[in-house]
A and B are shown apart, each in its own frame.
Chain A
Amino acid sequence: MNISSIPILTIVTFLPLAGAVLIAALPRSAARPVALGTALLTWVVSLILLIGYLPRPDFQFVETLDWIPLFGIQYKLGIDGLSLILVVLTTTLMWVSILASFRPIQERIKEYMISFLILEVGMIGVFVALDTFLFYIFFEIVLVPMYLIIGIWGGANRIYATIKFVLYTLVGSLLMLVAILATAFAFQAQTGSWAGAFDLTVLRETRFDPGLQVFAFLAFFMAFAIKVPMFPFHTWLPDAHVEAPTAGSVLLAGVLLKLGGYGFIRYAVPFYPDAAQTFAPLIIVLSLIAIIYGAIVALVQPDLKKLVAYSSVSHMGFVTLGIFVFTEQGLQGAILQMVNHGLITGGLFLLVGVIYERTHDRTIARMGGLAGATPVYAAVFGFFVFASVGLPGLSGFVGEFLTLVGAFDFSPLVAAIATFVMILAAGYLLWMFQRVATGDLSDFLRGLGHHLTDMRPVEVLTLAPLAALVVALGLFPGLVLDLIGGSVGSVLDGAATAAPIRFALWP
């Protein structure tokens, strides 16, 4: 049997679904091991993809099956370097999250694990779909398990937070559905055929007329800007993060926010390059606002998790900035930043979860002196804080540095503003670390007595792979950059020939 005839992308996408069905059928006690086993197996399959992948710009492991031939809708999967690293990021964070949930989650463990595995189906599906209709379906599927995860296993204000999350995301994605359809019709009107009207590889070779580009780009922009989230669409994020259980926050920050960045790179920019050029200045300004605003708001947060959430807004601003300056370094930096943010912020959320599990409190003012009481925890925490600040040698640095280089090519002023914010980032992160870890043990923590234990081996195990990747990518960013070279090139080639659309509001 030929290796290429195995539908490996279908397997990696739907393997978690099989695990979810199995958990539903088995008794409660089997939920944890089966979930972890499924997630690890999926991870292994994704690593096989990584090994089998050839660094070429085209899509590989492509599977095509007619689904609704009437409109040329296909079940079409395929990956390039960009999809591949995000798939691996997803599968890695997934088993980490499931492992990290073993102790904190005692209620309804079956439903919890099923939700996580279905979430994984949606997330992997988004990254491997090569058909806009299929992409939309996976994009929406992600919503449901996350809604349940926040709503059932979340904090005190979880219902408000989860409904807000769903409504925000749904408005954006439904507008995107209209844009997907409008694009398909425009394609059909141009070519006279439905074949390829939903096919990513065909659509990105098609140049649409300016009117459609503007409308469709704005609709896609809404969907992805809410997902990233960009200022001023970010207000759902702090609520969702604060209320979500730890593992939910990890995946929310680690993967769900990446759906927005991925959507920009894969769909919005290649499909509508002229409109993307037109709105790029506006998006760059919004990105800068997000970078500054997120950092300033993070500075004053009294709650650990909220601080990390707002730092996400700031860090994700670098992603959109890097995409829309349309330079090679900028785009490379944006992609690297997506991966780094997933690893580092995922790690930070895990660490906040570790301390919350012991103290049932996340107020920074009540912490202090953890370095003495829980040295391992403080060391790991410090490592991720420095990675988030952008310490050279760790991966956060490379992504932000490349983004800034790319931004400098575009406009020195933009780069200067963004660089200035890196000082702010160092400020709020280090100040937070200082308040939490140094000094004498606070009265509140002292009151916990023997409950204040250091990290357990399992907790170290969940953080170790993330830390290892942070170091590896910090020292050898080429590991990722070599993979994404083709994707970056094809996006920039399309953008290079594009010209901003001139609006004539009055003739």
Chain B
Amino acid sequence: MTVPPDFVAVLPLVAAVLAATAVLLVDLALPGRRTAVLLTALVALAVVALAVIAIGGEERVAFGGAYTVDALTTFLQILFVAIIALTVMFGPDYLVPRGLPVAEFAIVLIFAMTGAMLLAASTDLLLLFLGLELMVLPGYLLAAFHKSDGYSTEGAIKYFLLGSFSSAIFLFGLAFVWGLTGSTRVSDVAAVLSTFAAGQGTLSPGLAMGLAFMTTGVAFKIAAVPFHYWTPDAYQGSPTPVTGYLSVGPKIGAFALILRLFVEAMGPLRADWLPVVIVLAAATMTLGNLVALTQNNVKRMLAYSSIAHTGYMLVGLAAWAAGRMEGLEGLLYYGAAYSFMNLGAFAVVAALQKRSGVTSNLDTFAGLGRREPLLGALMVLFLLSLVGIPPTAGFFAKFYVILAAVEAGGALSVLAVIMVLNAAAAAFYYLRVVVYMYMRDPETEQPALRHGRLVWGGLAAATALTILLGIIQGPLLDIVGEAARAIG
């Protein structure tokens, strides 16, 4: 019996769905056995990762060009699996004291991962949309996970309304593009657009409008300024482990969409959208940082700072559009580095909230350095990485993006200067957390908490990656280089 090649290509997706189902069944068979559920989830995720690696050895095009497995797909899918695995590890300590179910948490996350993995492999506009929705729908669910908490439901409603709204805008634009190019295949759209770029014929107003709508829809998803308003409320309201996931998973997913859409489909028109991305990047990082400066809630602060990080990643995209391959590599490196350091920072916030009723205000961090020295030291590491202080992953990621921008020259070197000034401003609010942890005494003495083994395991992994990606860059550089060459 031979397995059809199309089926082989989507094997990781099948594995992901089976993984979610397996967790569901284990929870059904052994109700209340959290350890069994979590172990199943982690083992299943490992299997998915193995499937991704096994399938990703060669380039595969399936379903008539709608689904592609290339180096970029493999890289992104592995990254998604890692993000979900870390989130699953960080979740229970927050969820259990609040009486929230752990198994459902893991299952919904794995379903979201399936969507993100589909997104990473789609080379068809409609399939991209499908992956996007499959990724964000579980996200709405997760945002409202603490359903008895008013903030959680409020944030979820905002997230849901604006998310659906932006999806609709995206779909609207997609319809225009399909109608005027005659295809939803990324490669076909690129072929049509390249005739315009070559000077044959002009871009029709309808097509331009379609592309603009799709850009707007995507800008919503990555929370680029001025489409970022949903982020702070959604992030602050959600349960903290969910916030950590939301600030990383859907963002990297949306960047996967951007890579397929801007780089592959709209690549021929890059000279036209380059100014748009430059303005978006500059506005996004500057505004994100400025607003983050005034936040007293750490979750909200990290939400705004994640907007700023979106801006930094957009600099990589702009550098690619200006002709530098390093821009794309930098974007991917940044994505990986950002995922691990940001998840790590959120994990510490979540770990502090193990006792229910503890807020994520800055006061919670007062005296943490003395109360829980190890947790405090890890938080310092993640924050320094988010600032971009060497030798951490965050530093090298920023360095690489700036490198690409400086190399591109012209307007991009101005953008690089804006970026470094932003990085310096960001140091202020990240270090404010350090000030609270080490330089302020708490108003009331808090007991040290005992954290689960899974949390420590996840933190160890995030820490190791945050340090290693800052010191030994070679292996990941090779991988992102290959991934970038697959599309650029």
Whether A174 pairs with B477 at a CB distance below 8 angstroms is: no
Cα A377 to Cα B201 in complex, Å, equals 88
Whether B427 pairs with A185 at a CB distance below 8 angstroms is: no
* Bitwise interface map of B from 205 to 229 toward A, beta carbon under 8 Å scored 1, else 0: 0000000000000000000000000
Cα A84 to Cα B390 in complex, Å, equals 24
* Bitwise interface map of B from 351 to 377 toward A, beta carbon under 8 Å scored 1, else 0: 000000000000000000110010000
Q: Is residue A111 contacting chain B, with contact meaning CB distance below 8 A?
A: yes
Mark the stretch among B274-282, B283-291, B431-439 that contacts chain A: B431-439
Q: Knowing A152-B438, A158-B439 are in contact, say whether A178-B389 is a contact too (CB < 8 A).
A: no
Residues on A with C-beta less than 8 A from B428 are 163, 167
Determine which of A71, A140, A166, A177 lies in contact with B402 in the assembled complex, contact meaning CB atoms within 8 Å: A177
Q: Is residue B424 contacting chain A, with contact meaning CB distance below 8 A?
A: yes
Whether B389 pairs with A148 at a CB distance below 8 angstroms is: no
Whether A174 pairs with B423 at a CB distance below 8 angstroms is: yes
**Residue ID in chain B nearest A182 by CB atoms:** B406
Cα A131 to Cα B424 in complex, Å, equals 23
Whether B435 pairs with A178 at a CB distance below 8 angstroms is: no
Cα A108 to Cα B371 in complex, Å, equals 12
Q: Is residue A264 contacting chain B, with contact meaning CB distance below 8 A?
A: no
* Bitwise interface map of B from 396 to 434 toward A, beta carbon under 8 Å scored 1, else 0: 000100110011010001001100110111011001101
Within 8 A of A (CB), among B431-463: 431-432, 434-435, 438-439
Residues on B with C-beta less than 8 A from A171 are 421, 424
Within 8 A of B (CB), among A137-185: 137, 140-141, 143-144, 147-148, 151-152, 158-159, 162-163, 166-167, 170-171, 174-175, 177-178, 181-182, 185
Whether B413 pairs with A141 at a CB distance below 8 angstroms is: no
Residues on A with C-beta less than 8 A from B477 are 68, 70
Residues on A with C-beta less than 8 A from B406 are 178, 181-182, 185
Whether A141 pairs with B417 at a CB distance below 8 angstroms is: no
Whether A151 pairs with B407 at a CB distance below 8 angstroms is: no
Whether B390 pairs with A137 at a CB distance below 8 angstroms is: yes
Whether A167 pairs with B427 at a CB distance below 8 angstroms is: yes
Residues on B with C-beta less than 8 A from A356 are none
Interface size class of A (residues with CB under 8 A): 20 to 34
Q: Is residue B473 contacting chain A, with contact meaning CB distance below 8 A?
A: yes
Within 8 A of B (CB), among A240-275: none
* Bitwise interface map of A from 172 to 202 toward B, beta carbon under 8 Å scored 1, else 0: 0011011001100100000000000000000
Determine which of B370, B390, B417 lies in contact with A140 in the assembled complex, contact meaning CB atoms within 8 Å: B390
Determine which of A68, A144, A159 lies in contact with B384 in the assembled complex, contact meaning CB atoms within 8 Å: A144
**Residue ID in chain A nearest B389 by CB atoms:** A140
**Residue ID in chain B nearest A176 by CB atoms:** B420
Q: Is residue A279 contacting chain B, with contact meaning CB distance below 8 A?
A: no
Whether A178 pairs with B473 at a CB distance below 8 angstroms is: no
Residues on B with C-beta less than 8 A from A177 are 399, 402, 420
Q: Knowing A158-B439, A185-B406 are in contact, say whether A175-B420 is a contact too (CB < 8 A).
A: yes
* Bitwise interface map of B from 465 to 476 toward A, beta carbon under 8 Å scored 1, else 0: 000000001100
Residues on A with C-beta less than 8 A from B435 are 151, 159, 162-163
Within 8 A of B (CB), among A118-143: 136-137, 140-141, 143
Whether B438 pairs with A178 at a CB distance below 8 angstroms is: no
Whether B427 pairs with A170 at a CB distance below 8 angstroms is: yes
Determine which of B384, B390, B402 lies in contact with A181 in the assembled complex, contact meaning CB atoms within 8 Å: B402
Residues on B with C-beta less than 8 A from A141 are 389-391
Cα A474 to Cα B424 in complex, Å, equals 42
| 13 A–B contacts from the bound complex (CB under 8 Å) | A70-B477, A108-B370, A148-B438, A159-B435, A162-B435, A163-B428, A166-B427, A167-B428, A170-B427, A171-B424, A178-B402, A181-B402, A181-B407
Q: List 11 other contacts, CB 8 Å, given A166-B427, A170-B427, A182-B413.
A: A71-B403, A111-B438, A137-B390, A151-B434, A151-B438, A152-B439, A158-B439, A163-B431, A177-B399, A178-B420, A185-B409
A-B CB proximity, top 7 nearest: A174-B420, A137-B390, A170-B424, A181-B406, A171-B424, A151-B439, A152-B438
By a beta-carbon cutoff of 8 Å, the part of chain B in contact with chain A is 369-370, 373, 384, 389-391, 395, 399, 402-403, 406-407, 409, 413, 416-417, 420-421, 423-425, 427-428, 431-432, 434-435, 438-439, 473-474, 477
